[in-house]
Structure formats: structure tokens, C-alpha cells
Amino acid sequence: MSALSSSNPAPSQAENAIALKEPAPLFPFLDLKTQFASIRHEIMAAVSRVMESQQFILGEEVQALEGEIASLIEAREAISCASGTAALELSLEALGVGQDDEVITTPYTFVATAGAIARQGARPVFVDIDSVTFNIDPAGIEPAVTERTRAIIPVHLFGLPAELNPILEAARRHRLAVIEDAAQAIGAEYDGKKVGSLGTLGCFSFFPSKNLGGAGDGGMITTQDRDLATHLRQLRVHGSQEKYHYKILGTNSRLDALQAAILRAKLPHLPGWTRQRQEVASHYRNLFAQYRLEQITLPATPPDRTHVYNQFVVRCPRRDELRAFLSGRGIPSEIYYPVPLHLQPAFADLNYHEGDFPRAEAASRETLALPIYPELPEEHQAMVVQALAEFYRI
Ligand SMILES: Cc1ncc(COP(=O)(O)O)c(C=O)c1O
């Protein structure tokens, strides 16, 4: 159906103008319906199981999901919570990060990474990215450490693990915690180990568009540290360990049993879906080679890591012109992220300026995300790459 639904018979002039300028996409950037159709019975059985139990808060489903995620990630503990953002906030709080502390992270990420730091009262200290992987450049971390630094948050952006070994070494040298923001990278491996198992804490998101997406918001924290896990379990239920008794104050940040049951139904499919994403990526690579689209830089896959392709992000000349051309032909694309965090008004008080992180700024100007999801039809991929080829031949 077009953006102007038939239930709205009188589009305004402005709507008409938009409709004329931008034809509706020929296919969606992300299609969640196809996947749901393939596992509808499993999902509906999970929903029904919870409804029959009328156990909605924590309980068996949540505990079972935590155990399953812990074994997938090879972490001793997994603590679920309300969202990926909450996972980051709770992690920082459990580590005691607060007022006057500094946390090092990347400016080229979703806002939640640095937002969580600032909302704890601490200062996000940005370090520029590596131009090839789009992840934080480990070489920039030590020069950014001060006596106020408490933690580093590397982000495994788009599904590609950050270069963790030098980050972990810098953290050891300066006694800093490492919180892996693995929101986009569940199941990805670095040096043969799952992301989320290597840092002090790992944070995951079950936002519907993630590789393991729920039917709403949800998050998970993984750790090898049992004391941190106990603290986190306390923080997510208002701080209580014993009902209605509070030695510390926490918040309400729990994963719903309904979400847990749905995620448990989806979890056994994750390895297959990840393989399918990798096949889609490799089909894109073949098509780019076939069309000799050498001006476009494809996502890097360093040999010590696996990429789980939450997004397929390419670097391309004349990005904005290209995107307009693609949407004119009904080809969907997205920009992750058009403004790096150090230039966002919300972080103006950090006093960063244009030019401070040139590689993150260039990535924001030059990258484009192409459609990718496990069931993406090859015909759609062919349409995307044909349109790109057409643009660069004009
Ligand atoms: C890198 C990154 N960090 C954190 C988050 C926050 O997760 P959520 O949307 O579940 O709060 C997201 C997801 O949107 C993300 O992509």
C-alpha cells in the first residue's frame, strides 16, 4: 500500500508534492513480516504459553532466556532488562560510573551509547573511528585516558566487532572497565569468542530490527562477573534483594515474560538467520564485482572477526546525490548516522567542534546502508546494485 492509505481519500497539497517527488519504495528496506510468517506457529505458541500462565513479570521464561543467551555468548551470567539503552545505563550504574567520571567511546554510533554515559552524569569522551571498520580506533584510546576515566565503551557497529584486544589491554593497563555495546552484533565473534563475553559487561538490544528482535523493546547484559550480575539483578527491581526492603535504590527495568518467550522461540533460528545475512552480503559482493562498481567501498571483514551484518553499509562518492537518485527509482536506503554524536546539539555542552573527529565526520557524510535481512530476495539485491551502477555511469 502507498504511504497515502485509501482510508485517507483527500491528501493535502503538501502530501501530494511529497508523493510526486518521492515514489513509494519498490520494496521495503527491512521486511519483518516474511520472517514472522515463517515462524508464526512457534511465536503464537510462545505467546499463548505466557497468556495461559498469566506470569508476566520475570519468572520462568525470563530466567530460561537468560540461561540460553548466557550459553550462546559463553558468559557466566546474563541479566535481561527493558532495552539496549537500559542495559548500557544499568551497566554504567553497576560499575559506579557517575558525576565527574569520564567514559571513552566512539562518536559514530547510535545516540544511546553516549546518551547513557551522559545520563549517568558522566562525560562521554570521544575517540575517532578507524576508517575501514567504522569502529573506535584503539590507537586513540590511551591518549584520551585521564585520572577521571572509568570505562571504555567500544561499539560493534553494524555487526562487526571492534578491535577488542588492544582495547582490553589499554583497559587493563589503566584499570578501566570495558562495556561492549553489542546491540547490533549478537553472535558475532572476535578471535573465536562471542562479543559480549570479552569485556567486563556486554550490552544487547532486542529492538525489532536487531538480528534477534523482539515484539517491542528488550535488552540483555552479559558478564563473567557474578558480583556485578547480582548487583544488576538488584538494580533492575528498584534495588531490592528481599521484597519491599531496599539497601540501595534501583529502577524498574525488566524484560517482559512475553518478550522472553518470543525471543526464546526465535533464538534457535538465529544461527541460520546470521548465515543468511552473510549470504546476502556475499551476494552483494558478487554483484558489485560483476558491475565493476569499484568506486564503492564494501564493508570490511578483518580475518580475526565475523560480521553478522545487522546493516550492510558502504562508503560511496556523492552519497547524498546517490541516495536521492535511488529513492527516485524506488530503491530504499538509509543513513547510519547522518550527524556524528560530537556534533549533535544534545552534546553541545561537551564543547566538541567540526573537525575534531574527521574520520567519523567523513563516515557520516559518505556512507549508505543498503537493504539487508535474512530473507531479502536476490531480485531486490539485483535492483539495488543495478540502480547504483546506473547512477555511476551517468
Ligand atoms: C549501537 C547501539 N547501542 C544501543 C542501542 C539501544 O538499544 P535499544 O533501542 O534497545 O534501547 C542501539 C539500538 O537501537 C544501538 O544500535
Question: For each of the chain's 394 residues, which pLDDT tens digit applies?
Answer: 333 333 344 445 445 545 556 789 999 999 999 999 999 999 999 999 999 999 999 999 999 999 999 999 999 999 999 999 999 999 999 999 999 999 999 999 999 999 999 999 999 999 999 999 999 999 999 999 999 999 999 999 999 999 999 999 999 999 999 999 999 999 999 999 999 999 999 999 999 999 999 999 999 999 999 999 999 999 999 999 899 999 999 999 999 999 999 999 999 999 999 999 999 999 999 999 999 999 999 999 999 999 999 999 999 999 999 999 999 999 999 999 999 999 999 999 999 999 999 999 999 999 999 999 999 999 999 999 999 999 998 6
Tell me what pLDDT residue 244 has. 93
Say yes or no: CB of residue 134 within 6 Å of ligand 1. no
> What span, in angstroms and rounded, lies between the C-alpha atoms of 266 and 35?
10
- How far, in Å, is the centroid of ligand 1 from the Cα of 308? 16
Tell me what pLDDT residue 22 has. 74
- How far, in Å, is the centroid of ligand 1 from the Cα of 219? 9
Q: What is the dihedral of CA 273, 275, 278, 284, to 10 degrees?
A: -80
CATH 3.20.20.150 fits 269-392, yes or no: no
Q: Which atom of ligand 1 is nearest to the CA of 184?
A: 16
Say yes or no: CB of residue 310 within 6 Å of ligand 1. no
Q: State the Rg of the chain over Cα.
A: 22
- How far, in Å, is the centroid of ligand 1 from the Cα of 221? 13
Q: Which atom of ligand 1 is nearest to the CA of 109?
A: 1
Say yes or no: CB of residue 83 within 6 Å of ligand 1. yes
Say yes or no: CB of residue 113 within 6 Å of ligand 1. yes
Say yes or no: CB of residue 149 within 6 Å of ligand 1. no
- Cell numbers given for 352: 566538541
Phi-psi category of 25—alpha, beta or left, where left has phi over 0 and alpha has psi -120 to 50?
beta
Say yes or no: CB of residue 311 within 6 Å of ligand 1. no
**Which residue among 106, 155, 156, 207 is best mutated to probe the pocket of ligand 1, counting the most ligand atoms within 8 A of its Cβ?**
207
Say yes or no: CB of residue 161 within 6 Å of ligand 1. no
Could you identify the residue written with the cell 534501583?
250
User: Pick from 130, 136, 181: which is nearest to 159 by CA?
Assistant: 181
Tell me what pLDDT residue 12 has. 52
Say yes or no: CB of residue 214 within 6 Å of ligand 1. no
Say yes or no: CB of residue 207 within 6 Å of ligand 1. yes
Tell me what pLDDT residue 23 has. 83
CA 369 and chain centroid, separation: 13
Q: Which atom of ligand 1 is nearest to the CA of 116?
A: 4
Residue nearest to atom 8 of ligand 1 (CA): 84
| Domain definitions of the chain by residue range | 37-267, 269-392
Say yes or no: CB of residue 181 within 6 Å of ligand 1. yes
The pTM score is 0.94
- How far, in Å, is the centroid of ligand 1 from the Cα of 344? 17
> What span, in angstroms and rounded, lies between the C-alpha atoms of 70 and 247?
28
> What span, in angstroms and rounded, lies between the C-alpha atoms of 73 and 178?
16
Say yes or no: CB of residue 110 within 6 Å of ligand 1. yes
Tell me what pLDDT residue 2 has. 36
The arrangement of strands across the sheet holding 219-223 comes to: 77-81, 219-223, 201-205, 177-181, 149-153, 102-105, 123-126
Contact 189, 305 (CB under 8 A): yes
Q: Which atom of ligand 1 is nearest to the CA of 155?
A: 1
CATH 3.30.420.10 fits 37-267, yes or no: no
